[in-house]
């Protein structure tokens, strides 16, 4: 019943905020954009409350002290769950985020994503996708907004391997910003887009920044190794301390 109640409230709340923000999309100017982004942060905080008080999934945030003070960064996050983005958007100030163009199929969502300055890319990748990413990132960078990206490019269940895409490296090359990896074990509690949720304490952790200047292959290897390794440790930690997770399928092998 807890999962059912959360899922109903999650989709209803999402629809409510889309309808609430949609009229703002008709108003030109940067002020309307800032209002729309403030409402997105309110939406993220609302979903976090629903996660905690309806689904029973509390989220601990670690490593915020590792974020460089006073300057934007690229946040490169492990992607295990629909819930991954809500915590960074809720706890950090006015960040842009990268998302797939599949969301534009939903009514009114496309204009909302455009108004809030989201970076929408083609899920199939390729040259055009990289160009769209670069063009949209340039706009966010000009505004000095940190950017959240999922280098895997798709949701990945715990224990599955994936190829990390190079878009995050191209973003760093263009901006010179630090890349801050984000590890998580949220997939133990809310796996990908699965209907069932598992009650417990999830963790996301901001890791040490990776400065610009590394060759592409070296950068991607370091980013993946560090993020996957810390994710594995968070998963192992949760499995040891939270017995209810014994029934959750999937294992992570430390790297």
**pLDDT, tens digit, for every residue of 200-242?**
999 999 999 999 999 999 999 999 999 999 999 999 999 998 9
The DSSP code sequence of 124-166 is T-SHHHHHHHHHHHHHHHHTT--EEE-TT-S---TT---PPPT
CB distance 212 to 177 below 8 Å: yes
Q: Residue 185's CB: how many other CB atoms inside 10 A? A: 30
Q: What H or E segment, with its residue span, contains residue 182?
A: strand 179-184
Spatial separation of the C-alpha atoms in residues 76 and 161, rounded to whole Å? 17
Sketch out the chain's domains with CATH numbers: 2-247 (3.40.1130)
**pLDDT, tens digit, for every residue of 24-61?**
999 998 899 999 999 999 999 999 999 999 999 999 99
Spatial separation of the C-alpha atoms in residues 210 and 72, rounded to whole Å? 13
Q: How much is the pTM?
A: 0.88
Backbone angles phi, psi at 206, to 5 degrees: -80, 130
């Amino acid at each position: 019943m807890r999962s059912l109640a959360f899922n109903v409230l999650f989709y209803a709340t999402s629809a409510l905020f889309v309808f609430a923000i949609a009229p703002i999309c008709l108003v030109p100017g940067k002020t309307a954009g800032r209002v729309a982004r403030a409402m997105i942060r309110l939406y993220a905080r609302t979903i976090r409350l629903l996660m905690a008080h309806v689904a029973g999934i509390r989220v601990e945030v670690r490593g915020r002290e590792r974020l460089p003070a006073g300057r934007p960064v690229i946040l490169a996050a492990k992607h295990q769950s629909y819930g991954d983005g809500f915590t960074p958007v809720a706890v950090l100030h006015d960040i842009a985020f990268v998302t797939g163009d599949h969301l534009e199929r939903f009514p009114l969502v496309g204009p909302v994503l455009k108004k809030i300055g989201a970076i929408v890319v083609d899920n199939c990748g390729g040259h055009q996708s990289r160009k769209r990413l670069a063009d949209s990132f340039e706009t966010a960078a000009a505004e000095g907004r940190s950017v959240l990206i999922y280098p895997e490019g798709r949701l990945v269940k715990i224990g599955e391997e994936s190829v990390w895409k190079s878009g995050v490296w191209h973003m760093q090359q263009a901006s010179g910003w630090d890349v801050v990896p984000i590890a998580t074990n949220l997939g133990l509690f809310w796996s990908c887009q699965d209907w069932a949720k598992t009650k417990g304490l999830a963790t996301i952790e901001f890791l040490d920044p990776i400065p610009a200047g590394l060759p592409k292959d070296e950068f991607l290897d370091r980013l993946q190794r560090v993020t996957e390794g810390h994710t594995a440790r968070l998963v192992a930690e949760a499995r040891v301390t939270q017995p209810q997770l014994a029934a959750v399928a999937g294992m992570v092998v430390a790297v």
